[in-house]
Amino acid sequence: MLLLVIVVIWASAVGSVSVPFSESAKIVFSKLPFVDTEKLLEGISRPHQTIIWDVRLPRVLLAGMVGGGLAAAGVVMQALFRNPLADPQVLGISSGAAFGAAIAMACGITFSFMGISSIWMFAFGGAILTMLLVFRVARVATSHSVTGILLAGIACSSMLTAAITLLMMWNRQKLEQIYLWMLGSFSSATWIKVGFMAIVLAGALLSFSILGRDLDLLSFGDQEAQSMGVSVKRTRTLSVLATSLLVAAAVSVSGIIGFVSLIIPHIMRLLAGPKNRRLLPLAFFGGAIFMILCDLISRTAVPPTEIAVGAITQVTGAPFFLYLLWKERRKGEQQ
């Protein structure tokens, strides 16, 4: 937690206009209750205050919440499937959000309501509709089993990816805009998005913490967990629902960002063990720090241009994913 606070202050200070770390810390803490704001900000120029508070801090906080939320969602999915390679993006939510955003861009729907852009609205709406579709298909086909939800998610994701490709081909002038959104970025971060993400994240993390014991017991198998008083169907349904809402919110504000929900839970599991009540908060903090650092690289590595943060996470995550596959194969051969 202390490391996360330091990273937030440092990332807010670094950029095209450098701000001293001490000034960045004073600006960040100046909004806390019971703090003498005028005395704390004495001697700090107004431009520096504007840069930190209105431009960089919302972006840094949004990156941290998205990274932490995706990492926590990864922990839950891996616990449900009892597989370290499970990823919440297989639910199809990311593709739904991308499809919604692609429709808004391709059709030229550009409006804003209370600081909320049309692309953000369409992305979140597409993610929620996809979640409902996946649950409906899974219910009709397999009575809400986890395998049924997984297969429905993969099928819907493939269908929506094909639809996005068609939209991009039919609207070639919007191709670059849609593609860049799908790679992920926090350049459009605002305090409204930070507040929205904070509400969804708080609800999802609360649900995960309540279900932490049941998720631990599920690791022994469905029958064993049920014999110890766990409602397996209820736990899985609530976990997938909370995960879906969290991923929908994250993707709608940032675009598709891969591998965070895969590599961070695995790293934290190596450090802290498999117990979910301990693993969830550690994965959240680890994911937040990782995403803030990736976003920092994306906006400072090649100034004045910006690299898509999704590309940074994929470059980092792809080799680690291959390592996990190799490790699982070795483990299977030894057994």
Whether omega before 265 lies within 30 degrees of 0, making that bond cis, reads: no
Q: What pLDDT score does 104 carry? A: 87
Q: What is the gyration radius of the CA atoms in the chain, in angstroms? A: 21
Number of Cβ within a 10 Å radius of residue 5: 12
For residue 69, the model assigns a pLDDT of: 94
Q: How far apart are CA 20 and CA 3, in angstroms?
A: 18
**What is residue 255's predicted lDDT score, i.e. its pLDDT?**
86
pLDDT of residue 332: 64
Element (H, E) at 117: strand 116-117
pLDDT score recorded for residue 206: 93
pLDDT score, position 70: 93
Counting other chains too, the contacts that 325-331 makes at CB distance below 8 Å and 24 or more residues apart are: 325/85, 328/84, 328/85
The tokens describing 282, both together, are 């550690």
In tens digits, what is the pLDDT along the chain, a chain of 335 residues? 999 999 999 999 998 888 899 999 999 898 888 788 888 888 888 899 899 999 999 999 999 999 999 999 999 888 887 777 777 777 788 888 888 888 888 888 877 776 677 888 888 888 888 888 887 887 776 655 667 777 888 888 889 889 888 888 888 777 777 888 888 889 888 899 999 999 999 999 999 988 888 888 887 777 787 888 777 778 888 888 888 889 888 988 888 888 898 889 988 888 888 888 889 999 999 999 999 999 999 998 887 888 889 889 888 877 877 776 677 677 666 66
Q: What is the CATH number of the domain that holds 312?
A: 1.10.3470.10
3-class DSSP assignment, residue 110: coil
Nearest to 215 by CA among 74, 76, 71, 89: 76
| Ordered DSSP codes for 281-335 | HHHHHHHHHHHHHHHHHHHHSSTTS---HHHHHHHHHHHHHHHHHHHHHHHHHH-
Instruction: Please give the pLDDT value at position 263.
Output: 86
Under DSSP, the state recorded for 172 is G
Q: Rounded to an integer, what distance in angstroms lies between the CA atom of residue 158 and that of residue 128?
A: 17
Please list the alpha-helical segments (H only) found in 184-274.
Answer: 191-210, 212-218, 222-227, 232-254, 260-272
The pLDDT value recorded for residue 296 is: 94
What is the pLDDT at residue 144? 56
308 burial level (CB within 10 Å; 0-12, 13-18, 19+): buried
pLDDT, residue 141, reads 64
CA distance 184 to 257: 6
The residue type at 279: L
Query: Going by C-beta distance under 8 Å and a sequence separation of 6 or more, which residues neighbour residue 65?
Result: 194, 197, 198, 201, 250, 288
Contact 60, 51 (CB under 8 A): no
Cβ atoms 73, 247 nearer than 8 A? yes
- Look up the domain containing 77 and give its range: 2-334
Task: Give the total number of structural domains in the chain.
Answer: 1
Q: Enter the pTM of the model.
A: 0.87
Confidence at residue 65, expressed as pLDDT on a 0 to 100 scale: 96
What 3-state class would DSSP assign to 167?
helix
User: Rounded to 5 degrees, what are φ and ψ at 17?
Assistant: -110, 110
